[in-house]
Structure 1
Amino acid sequence: MSLQLRRISLNNFRKFREPLTIEGLGEGLNIIIEPNESGKSTILEALRAAFFVRHATKNQLAQSFAPYGEAVAPEIEVSFDIGADSWKIAKRFLKSPQVEVTGPQGRAQGEEAENRLQALLGFVKDSSQRGDPATYGALGMLWVPQAQALEVTAPGNIVRNSIQATLEAEVGTIVGGAAYERVRKRIDEQYELYWTPGGKAQSKGRWQAARDRDQQARQAAADATTRLDALEKSFCDLETARGRLKVLERELADETELEQRADLVQALEVAKAAAQILETRKAEHENFSTNLDRLEDLHAQHEAARAALMAASATFAAITANREQLTGQLEAGRTKVTEAKAALDQARNDRAAARQSLVEGEGRVALRQRRAAIADARQRHTELLNLEQQLGDARIDAERLIPAEAVARLEANDRAIAEARAGVNAGATSIELIGDIADITIGGEPLTPNIPRTLTGETQIALGGGILVIRPPATAASAEASLAAAFERQALELAEWDVVDLAAARTRNDTARDAQGTVQVLESKIAGLTPAQPLLDLAAGPDALKLLVASLAPDSATPDDDAISVDQLTRRLEETETAVVRAETMHDQAVKDLREIEDKDRPLAAEQAGAERDQTNASDRVAQIEGRPDFTGLADAIVKAREDAAQAAVKLAEAKRDATAHDVQVINRKIDTIDSRAKAGQTRRSDLEKDIARFEAIIESEGGKGLASVAAAAAEEADAATQALVRLDEEAATIKLLKDVLDEARAEAARTFVGPVAQRARVHVERLFPGAELNFDAELGLTSVTRSGLSEVCGTLSKGTQEQLAVLTRLAFADMLLEQGMPVSLILDDPLVYSDDGRLDLMTEILEEASQRMQVILLTCRDRAFRHLAATRVQL
């Protein structure tokens, strides 16, 4: 029977932050055509959430239902029909989650509603974090989200079992017999005591109770053992702490670091006399080297004497002559070394003097530049004050600008006055008396002769004994009133802006506009006058310049008029550096030459000493050498001399380093380190004493509680609980094994289902791929398609072909489920996106035919592809 969706309502579900209701879904083909990102895929996800995701879940999938960045409760409400029965489900997630299912049996809420919905649609509880469509049953396979139909996949266990149940009678397998059903029912009853439908251990029942007992007993035993171990560890920790305290006290009693600290304190004074110490170390090194050379020379003489026993007589004369020649060379070489050393010392002194002169010269140049910069800053400060005074005056003038609206009102009032005056003149009466005007009055006042007078209202003129009444037109009075009102408005406007007339206002505005330009020019000048000056650490801006000048003391320094050339001083230093390098090279070469001469003379002296005696007295020479007091232990003496020379070299290097790199701060840091280490030792001793006291308190508290007996009893209880759990584990494993054996038998029989499944699917596929044969595996998954004798694995087919096969196999499974009477409907999100025009038309025909057996809903953004179909069209 088909499942018919009637009404869908969403609120606070992902992108739908406002309520959305979809109504008018029909029984056959329904098409929702909307642009991308309008929420079509969200609607399908909401349907799956309403039917298959439990309301109280807090998993990652449920968290994704809420709109991004908002803490609200997603709500879904769906009305649907199954057969002749109407149902309604309402769910709310995350905040105050709840569910309500209304149907023929009445209304249910909470877990009862979830269980009723699960029994109605034939799915199982999903415990995954992201949602497992395999647990959704038939609708999980037939409600296809976007892009999930691009690969041909096998149906889930629930769908596969349902299809197998449908085909058992058709294939005639004995696995579906009555005996099998009785055995299977009994095994399932026992299986449910131990296992969930998904093959996981039950979380309730006696097996869980045994596991809980075993866990609790193990935990109790572990806790008892932990307490016992903690007590024993406290004993160990106490002894360890006492041992560490002894070691620490021994370390604290050690005065080595105190001696080091005293040495460091003394090193502060040593640093001041490093040069003198360096000379001392040089002398010591030279003495040790000389002693080593003497001992090694004695050893060489002894060896030479023994070797010269046979050749002494023949070579004596030649050696003597050679030595006489070398004597002059030695003296010349020593003199050359002395002169080179003196030249090197002089070059180094000249270099030091050149460096000092360069430093002094650079300081004087920097001071001169700073003075020049300060003088420039004072001058710019004076100019700045003048410009700021001008800027203040210009801003005052600029602020007197009358707004354009006010000027417009003044101009309008001026035009109104002119217009009113013209109206008065047009409607008024003008009189003028010429000649004798005695006894003629107007308004009780004498009339002035030869002056025209304009009358705008009724006027009485006394003429002797009579009165002349003049009544101008009525418009003259109204025109005069308009003129008076215009004068009054203009007077108020002029008074508000403190100007006498419109011309004065225009003149004032011209002055203000000129002042605005002046303000911009002066501000630019001030900005250009106050740049940053790195030499004085002066930031840009007038405030920084004022602050600098205010902080400067009066300049009372005498100008330095001496010409200083840093370049000359630098060239002088470079020349002295070159001279030092040259002197060092000459000195090194002289020393090298002298050493070469000495190296030649030393064996000659030994040979001469050996050759001085004849062959018969050579052994006496050896005896004489060996009889010398310093020959005894000569090898040890040489080793000792080499050690002394090495130590002297180390001390000499240290002296050189101290003379050039002794730093009081470094010595102070070393002293601080020693003090910190001593303080840390005291703190550590205090901590160990506290730890010892704490361990002793723990031992005193826990020692009398019989922890060993408690641990033994807990271990016995744990063993008993474990044995009971092992028995139940064996029972559960046996039950599972029986069920697995039956399932294997049923799976073996299920392989015979492949033929009927392929036959049903071929009905649909034959129209798309004429003559093709379908190959399914034991899991009822389509594995390959054979066309024209060539077998092609589904994974190698094009995406369009895979999508078409996936839709057609789903239709075949849907027809089988309909035969079993299960609620079925088909929803495809953006289907057939890779189909060509011909196959697209054929697939839409197949979907139209399928909509006659079940409700089909297409969610798409392609109006052109599905425009020709006769279907119920729904808009979001």
Structure 2
Amino acid sequence: MSLVIRQIAIDGFRKFRTPFAIDDLTEGLNIVIEPNETGKSTLLEALRAAFFVRHTTRNQLAQSFAPYGEAVGPEIKVTFDVDGAPWSLTKRFLRSPSLEITGPQGRAQGDDAEARLNVLLGSVRDTSRGGDVSTYGALGLLWVGQTEALAVSGPGQIVRDTIASTLEAEVGSIMGGDAYRRVRQRIDAQYELYWSPSGQKRGRQNEARERSDAAEAAAREANERLAALERSFSELDAARGRLKIVQREIADETDAQARKDLVGSLEVARAAAQILSTRKAEREAAASKLKGLEDLQSRHAAAAISSDNATTALTTAQAKRTELREALSTAKGKAATAREELEAARSERQDARAALAAGEQALRLNRRQAATAAARRRHDELLKLEQLHRDATALAATAIPAKTIETLEANDRTVSQAQAIVDAGATRLALSGTTDGITIDGEPMAAGERTITRATHIVLGGAQLIVSPPAAAASAEETLAAALRKRRATLEELQLDDLAAARSRNEAARDAAAELRTLAARIEAATPADDTLPIAAGPEALKLFVADLESEASDSDSTLPDVTGLAAALDAADTKLARAEGTQDSAIAALRRVEEEDAPLALTEAGAVSDLANAANLLQEIEARPEWPSLDADLASARETAAEAAVRLENAKRDASAHDVAAINRKIDVIDARVRMAAETRIRLETEIARLEGTIESEGGLGLADRAAAAQEEVEAANAALQRVTEEADSLKLLRDTLESARNETAAKFVGPVAKRAKRYIAKLLPDCELTFSEDLALASVTRTGVDESCANLSRGTQEQLAVLTRIAFADLLLEQGKPVSLILDDPLVYSDDGRLDTMIEILTEAATRMQIILLTCRDRAFRHVPGKRIILGPTA
């Protein structure tokens, strides 16, 4: 049974914002070749939505059906045949969702229509958010979207069950049939009470485990409370014993007497420490007085030495400065002379530079005058050339368009043709001899020939002759007159005499146009850039310069200055200035050297004078002090006093070390801490004894021993129940695994027929190739020349080709079962080379004789030669 889609109509579905339809799809091969972004993939999505997506759903997939930015209800209409019977469906999403299906059994709507579609197509209800193709049945496998065939994958469970039903008779097994499923469902129902789908414990096992854990926790708590009560009795006896020991320690007077003795020793130690402090102060006072006297003595000695040194340095510096005074005077004179010569050289150089600048300015002025005269000449020439250019432009503008010339020529032809017609149908009269007394239409008739195109009256003496030409001559004459008027009007509009004048004017205009290019080149050559003035290139720059140019007096006849001589004079002045600068630099250097020798001597002299004055002042100040006259005697007395103070300090240190205040205080603190800890321990033990007595009183009457025994019995019962439930769960799991193993063994029997059917296609593509299918009927590997290759390791192109071929094989199996089958491939074989592409097209063409195939592709060159029905997407797509 084959499925043939006849018509698809879409309105408001993604990019199809306006109504769009495809008609006349055939039963065989249908090819849609259109560029990218024309809606090919959208057509496949619309078909999937029409057949498999619930009309009432508002999931993410359904929301994507509406065109971006529009709040409309996408609508799809499909007409199709199933086993030759016509069907049609109309489905609308989001806004006023609806579904109506019409078939051999009549019409159905809403959920009833959805159920009828699922039965017809072998699909199940899709509850996913993004669309699950495995729920679409056979068409989910055979309607292949973009990139969905780039990896070899197995069919879904629905297709596998259908194929298994098809092959049961062939493989001679019913494992996997209805009986198996009923047994398996009962076992799975029991299995789910004990195990999760991933094999984790749950349900009854967890309940039994929780009961066992709760019983063990209760027993543990009861035992712990019973043990705690027993520990309370032991701890109470121990606390009472420790309390008696602490009370004896508190009653002992030994620590109190020891502390009293230490307090007495503390007073003696404090007195010794006070004496030590006094001796330290006396020692420091004696040392300070001795140091002051010694410092005064050393300062006086240092001042005397400084005075002697300063006197010696001053004498030496004054002698050396006297020797340098004459050399310094000579150097200053030379520097003054060099400065005067330098000023004269600078003045001379400035005059030479001014003269050179004036000469160069005169030369530049002369050059500018010459350039200005040349610019005037070019300007005059430019004006002439521009006048010629304007004349040529005006003449070129008189050119008559080619269409107008054609019109004139057509008018001449029309006049000629009309004249010929008039001449052919007119009457000709020839008059010779004496013409006196002969008139024609009331006017004298001259000798010669005359053409008559209308009725004419001729008077010959007393007789009258009426000449009537044929009737056609009158119309011919009117035609000729109209043509003459038209030609005359056209010529007058162009101000021309005839066609020859028009052609002559065009020739003149053509020559003028050619002359324009020559004049433009001449104008460009006559207006070059001039850096002297300066003037940019181009006629506008030249005219602007001449327009702004004022009349300049021409000094072309005046004598130009000798710039070369002036430059030579400037060079000589530069040389003289350089020499003067060198002489001055030398004099300044000599003066600087003498000054450098004199400067340190002057500093030394000034420093010696300052040091001598400071030393004299310091000696005078020290000798004026009141202690200076008796300094030696006071210094000896201070040394004796300092020695005696040091001896007394050592004696005080020895006495103080024998009575250490800090050590005595530490001993007292130890005794106080021991007494305090004994009191705290007594209070803590009293509190602990009271707590234990209260615990024993409260816990002793609760029957903890009976509770512990009852909890232990519950633990044993819970463990027995857990063991029983575990054995049941393990038995169910073993039974389920055994059934699954048997099913897998049976399922392996189906692989052979599937591989046999797929091989006849794949052999055309990969000769001498053996196929290996997995238990879920997915192509797992291929074997070529003894080498086994996993499909996942094959190239993308080979994987795509194998995926398409296995789908064709599955389609054949489903056709044998009588399932509705059609094949839709969106952008197939994108990675195929030319040879394999031709082979795949042959296989698809052959398969199209058994089922409808729709190819959606953008590759015109690859599929343009393929025979089949061509479908064109309209401009609205």
What TM-score do you get using the length of structure 2 for normalisation? 0.46
Could you say which structure has the larger radius of gyration? 2
What TM-score do you get using the length of structure 1 for normalisation? 0.46
